[in-house]
Chain A
Amino acid sequence: MDHSGSLPTGTVSSLVARATGTSPLACYQCGRCAAGCPQNVAGEMDLSPTQILRLLQLEIAFATDPSQAASLQRRALGADTPWLCAGCQACSSRCPQGVDVAGVMDVLRQESLRRGLYSGSPQARSAMALHKTFMEGVLRRGRIHELTLVALYKLRTMNLFEDALLGPAMFLKGKLHLLPPAGHDTTAVRRAVESLKRRREEWHGPAAGEKGSG
């Protein structure tokens, strides 16, 4: 069922519904996403995907109570779970109710960054550091040079020695190229991103939550 139109503005849930096309209310808490999520099964996540959906449902129910809603948002956006999601989409493709759980994780990451609510835990930090390093690299040079990515990421996380032995082996196998390839122009991409962001704001108003979050 598509209930995406009717969610209270300012909620994370309304952003979820807009980005994924399904409302968190569609979830009937069956636990299938949690059962098949490799990261949840391994006990990595602090909240299971099912629990994340439940928090969003509560957020909708308590949207008119700003302090309740804010605290629920803090729990959902501050969870490590989205940062530990492997993006494998097992959840989304199996959900009997058609909830795009992996898409929910995307929204939570983006929103937690935007609202500055992301968990400061080491695992969230390292995942975020990688994404940031990667994105900066892509937008600057157009392509990813693995060695540069690794080096910058390791600098960012100050985790200089993990995998130190793999590098030389890869190099010997011809799998590491020392010199980055020539840069590729990404101005067109950046221009398109800006125009797309502007367009989406016109459609939906400024990204919700800016007013609603605590």
Chain B
Amino acid sequence: MDTIGYFPGCSLQGSAFDYDRSVRALAQQLSIVLREIPDWVCCGASSAHAVDREVALCLAADTLAKARRAGLDEVLVPCAMCFQRLAAASQELTEHRSLAGEIAGALGGPADLDLTRVKAVNPVEWLVRLLPGTLGTRARRPLTGLRVACYYGCLLVRPPKVTRVEEPEAPRQMEGILKALGATTVRWGRATECCGASFSLSRKSVVLRQGLRIWELAVEAGANVLCVACPMCHANLDMRQSEFLSEGQEALPVLYLTQLAGLAAGLGPEQLGLGDHFVSVDRLLSTLGPVGRPVTDT
């Protein structure tokens, strides 16, 4: 059985517990062991680097250190924010190796602790990798009927040297996964526009405005579901949807990539935390067929 490190991060322990549930269920379904990093601390999110770059770096480095001490080289990070913070920290440490050594020491070692060895992996990369393997072979319920607008937002794609995305203006990885699982994907213009997450508490108008912009083009492109891979995007687009939509505008279910992949892999809605969305997913689920033959030819 494959093992990968796991960093759920604060959101997945709070409001995004459904995301956490879906990642864990999917991993189990695909016979992958998630080893949670012992005693991890917050990645620093958007606040640390905004006001104190040393704190930002050291918080992320602490997680990398704990992962290494646990013998892990790769850590699955479902939250896009955590992913970007950890990946940015490894990038910075790789560019300044002496700094990496120094911080490793200050974090309590041991002497051979190599912080640059740990790689943060996001669910998109993870599933792209699993598609030709277990995900492909174990998918038993084609996602037919789903017309998905894949929403990447900011942190999964930018800055490209950190996120390793070749085409930050026109990413296609989620589309690749979902198409292979039987869904249709739509082309639309705001897949990488910011949802305003960092203002969800301090300046709600920003989130509502951005949410509406995203909803508009996704619906115009004919989507019946938005796919996300970030708890903040999910909160803003799902939880706040009724706030930014007006009378007569039709609600658009917002699902995590791991929830969609989980459905294709034959998991039930409850196992994937789908019962706890603000925008109802019932109608969407009814379009899905039964669990049956493999959906991909891999």
Contacts and interface: CB of A to CB of B under 8 A. Distances in A.
Contacts of B192: 90
A70 interface: no
Nearest to A100: B159
18 contacts: A38-B193, A86-B154, A87-B154, A88-B154, A90-B154, A93-B159, A105-B50, A130-B202, A131-B51, A135-B51, A135-B52, A147-B14, A157-B202, A162-B204, A175-B16, A177-B14, A184-B39, A188-B107
Q: Is the interface of A mostly helix, strand, loop or mixed?
A: helix
Contacts of B55: 135, 139, 189, 193
Interface residues of B, number: 59
B47 A129 contact: no
A175 B106 contact: no
A44 B39 CA distance: 39
Contact of B58 (A135, A166, A189): A189
Interface string A127-142: 1111110110011001
Given A189-B41, A192-B58, 14 more contacts: A38-B194, A86-B154, A86-B197, A87-B154, A88-B158, A89-B159, A92-B158, A93-B159, A109-B50, A109-B51, A142-B42, A175-B15, A184-B39, A191-B107
Q: Is the interface of B mostly helix, strand, loop or mixed?
A: helix
A110 to B, nearest CB: 6
A205 interface: no
Interface string A77-91: 000000010111110
A100 B108 CA distance: 32
Interface of B: 10-11, 13-17, 39-42, 44-55, 57-59, 61-62, 99, 102-103, 105-108, 154, 157-160, 168-169, 192-194, 196-199, 201-204, 206, 209-210, 239, 276, 278
B194 A90 contact: yes
A175 B276 contact: yes
B62 A143 contact: no
A85 B99 CA distance: 29
Interface of A: 19, 38-39, 42, 44, 84, 86-90, 92-94, 100, 105-106, 109-110, 113, 123, 126-132, 134-135, 138-139, 142-147, 149-150, 153, 157, 162-163, 166, 169-170, 173-177, 181, 184-186, 188-197, 199-200
A192 to B, nearest CB: 4
A123 B206 CA distance: 11
B239 A166 contact: yes
B51 A132 contact: yes
A170 B240 CA distance: 11
B134 to A, nearest CB: 29
Nearest to B98: A199
B119 to A, nearest CB: 20
A163 B204 CA distance: 9
Nearest to A91: B158
A144 B10 contact: yes
Given A135-B47, A143-B13, A143-B42, A129 B58 contact: no
